[in-house]
Each structure stands twice: as C-alpha cells, then as structure tokens.
Amino acid sequence: MKKTIITSLFTLLLVACGGGSDSTDNSQSGQQKDQQNQDTEVVFDNLSSLAEFPIGVSVPAGQYANSILNSEARKQIVLQHFSQISAENIMKMDALQPNQGQFSFNHADNLINFANNNGIGVHGHVLLWHSQVPNWMKSFSGDKQQWLTMMKTHITTVATHFAGQVESWDVVNEAFLDNGLYRSIGDSGSVWYQNIGAEFIQEAFVAASQADPNADLYYNDYNLSSSSSKINAVVAMVEDFQTRNIPIDGVGFQMHVTSSYPSDDTIKAHFKKIVDLGLKVKITELDVRMNANSQHQQVSDAILKLQQQRYFDIVSAYLEAVPAAQRGGITIWGISDADSWILNLYDQEDWPLLFDENFNEKPALQGVAQALNND
C-alpha cells in the first residue's frame, strides 16, 4: 500500500476558501481530524492501492456511445484507479434477456473480459429489479408459480453464466419504499411483488446462491443511509433470513447523496445496523450532488472543495463504522461528470463524480484518497 504524504499549500488554500465540514453534527475531535487531513495532500498513482477492499466504478459499455471499451480516456481512468467495475446498464434484466428465453451475453462478456484481462474485479449489477425490466416480462401472464419460474430462470441463467467471473451480485434491488413498506403498486411498482408477493426476495437469493455459491450476495437499495424506516425494514428482512437460513452476505448502500444530506452520524449509525448483523456493507453507487437546490450556474473552487470534504467524510464514516472484515468496498457511480446519470435525472447542471467532463481529477478524488490513506 502506498502512503506518501506531503504538505500541500494548494489544499491549505482551498481550506481557507470554506472547505469545513458541511455537516453540523460532527464531534469536536472528528472536526479536528478532518481539518488535519484537509491540510495534507496524498500523493498516489492508483486510488485503489490505498485500500484493502475493492474500489469500484460503474462503467458504460456495450452499445452506449460512451462505452469504456471505445474511449481511451475513460479506459485509462478505470485502469489507473479502480480495482472493480459495475456495469452501469448492460447487465440489467432488459439487456441480458430482451426476449423470453433469448439471452444476450455478448456485451457483458466483452466488458468482463476487459476486466479480467486487466486484473479488475466485477460486481454484478443486477439480477432482479423493478426497473429496466424487458417489456415481455412486464406483460408476462401467468400464475404465481409461473412468475416464480420465469424469475428464477432469469436469475439462474445469468448467475450461472457469470459464475467465477463476478465477485459479488446485487441480487435484489430496491424492493422497499422509503417508508419501509414493500414496493408494490403504482408507477414505480414492482411486478415481482405484484405477482409473487414478498417471498420473491428470498426466492431470488436462494436461486442466486445455488447458481453461484462463491459470489457475495447483496440486497441493494437507495436512501438506506438516510431513511430509518427503510434501513429498519432491511434489518428485519435480514434477521428473518438469518433465522431461516436464507443466504445473504451483505447490504449495498447506493448512496446517491447530496453535499449535506444525510449527516455523517446518520450514515454511520445506519452502516452499523448492518455491521451488527454480521453482514458486509458495500457502498454500491456513490455520487454527491452539489447542485441539489439548483443554485449554481457553474462549478467553482468552493463547490469543489466542499465536495472534497463530503467525499472525505463519507469514506471516513465507512471506515469508522465498518470493520475491515465486513467491508465489501466502495463503488462510485460513474467516471466523469459528463456521463453522470444525475444530470439526466434532474435535467440540470451538476458535478457529482471524481473526474470532470474533461476527465481531469477533481478535488473529490483527493478527498477519497485522504480518507483511505488515513485508515
């Protein structure tokens, strides 16, 4: 592990521009520690060399115009800094089984070959989700048993195909609402819940475990670091699985967060709830919105400095709350700001990631490095 530290006038200057902790609930000692680390720049060639656990990034591939396989700039960043990838879209249900019984693995195989050939691991995303479901599945007609068979066929075929090539899977994504109830009806309802009931979740985990006994199996969701109802629902689900020997190895916290919400203390407390169950905690989709209130027309040094502090605080919270043996890793949801899904989702300017639209390193990258180097 490379841990060279030099004092940096650059970061000292940026601290003076207002880079204090953006959360109000830090302890005094925490603030002092943060301040101390903002004053030193970590020199590193390779971000992932600073961690003992996977440092991942989600990548576009396949038919997407910004595929890393066709972009030297993106490819170089992945090769230089990351030890794991997640496919941003091409391993979702609609991509892998566009028509019933017709599996389409070519794009994903190409991406995984690239990863394997370069010593980069793969986190599988995602076996089962209510979104990006192919149309034929949405309009599938059958009784509960037929739905279960159709669901398990997808999971078994996909997990068997990639067995030995993925380190872990998001088995089920976003089954709960923020109020802790199962996602069921409505615009973003779940066809799985509607047609099978809550047991679709355990059936998905059992099928994944049978198909690939060696991969770590995660339940993945957003707002787990902020909503207590949602994290408590996941805790109850895991406890129930544990009493009935349903396999589950970890919980994926997506962590699409803003510059100030949720607080560091809430994030830590929510990680700890999963740690206490003996499961792994993985940050699966980290990005930090800096323009959630649409107040900025363009990015500034002060915004970038605040973001550096926020990335530092989140990674520090992870390291503080999650013991080494339970760290599944940290994945950033995208390479460059230009490609971030956040810009499309909210249809406005934002700068959520570690590299800017010209693929230059941002202070946020240094924030992650400082926190990792501290461990």
**Nearer residue to ligand XIL within complex by CB, 42 or 95:** 95
Q: Are 155 and 207 in contact (CB under 8 A)?
A: yes
- Partners of 252 in the β-ladder: 220, 282
Question: Cα–Cα distance between 169 and 127 in angstroms, integer?
Answer: 7
- Distance in Å, CB of 64 to ligand XIL, minimum: 8
Which amino acid makes up residue 67? S
> Shortest Cβ contact with ligand XIL: which residue?
341
Under 8 Å between Cβ of 314 and 255 = yes
The answer to whether residue 350 forms part of the interface with ligand XIL (CB under 6 A) is no
Interface with ligand XIL, residue 341, by CB under 6 A: yes
Considering the rule CB under 6 A, would residue 190 count as an interface residue with ligand XIL? no
Q: Provide DSSP, 108-176.
A: HHHHHHHHHHTT-EEEEEEEE-SSS--HHHHT----HHHHHHHHHHHHHHHHHHHTTT-SEEEEEE--B
The nearer residue to ligand XIL, 42 or 257, going by C-beta atoms, is: 257
- For ligand XIL, the binding residues in 159-188 under the rule CB under 6 A are 173
To the nearest whole angstrom, how small is the minimum distance from the Cβ of residue 35 to ligand XIL? 33
Q: Which is nearer to ligand XIL, 30 or 56 (CB)?
A: 56
For ligand XIL, the closer of residues 220 and 316 by Cβ is 220
Considering 41, 88, 203, 285, which one is annotated as catalytic? 285
Among 254, 259, 309, 370, binds ligand XIL (CB under 6 A): 254
Q: How far apart are CA 45 and CA 37, in angstroms?
A: 19
**AA identity, residue 336:** S
Q: Tokens 């925490």 sit at which residue?
A: 30
- Selecting among 174, 239, 320, 357, the annotated active-site residue is 174
Minimum distance from residue 214 beta carbon to ligand XIL (Å): 23
Q: Within 10 Å of residue 364's Cβ, how many Cβ atoms?
A: 28
Considering the rule CB under 6 A, would residue 66 count as an interface residue with ligand XIL?
A: no
Is residue 355 within 8 Å of residue 336, measured between CB atoms? yes
Interaction residues for ligand XIL, span 26-45 (CB under 6 A): none
Q: Least distance to ligand XIL from the beta carbon of 111, Å? A: 15
Report the relative pairing of strands 121-128 and 168-173 from DSSP bridges.
parallel
> In this complex, which beta carbon is closest to ligand XIL, that of residue 223 or of residue 266?
223
Q: Which is nearer to ligand XIL, 89 or 307 (CB)?
A: 89
Binders of ligand XIL among residues 271 to 290 (CB under 6 A) are: 285
Find the binding residues for ligand XIL in span 78-137 (CB under 6 A).
88-89
User: Measuring CA to CA, which residue among 108, 43, 69, 148 is closest to residue 373?
Assistant: 43
Active site residue 285: yes
Cα separation values, 273 from 220, 250, 311, Å: 15, 12, 21
Q: Is 223 in the site for ligand XIL (CB under 6 A)?
A: no
Distance (Å, whole) CA 92 – CA 113: 18
Task: For the CB of residue 252, give the shortest distance to ligand XIL in the complex, in Å.
Answer: 9
How many residues belong to the site for ligand XIL (CB under 6 A)? 6
- Positions in the binding site for ligand XIL (CB under 6 A): 88-89, 173, 254, 285, 341
Active-site residue numbers? 174, 285
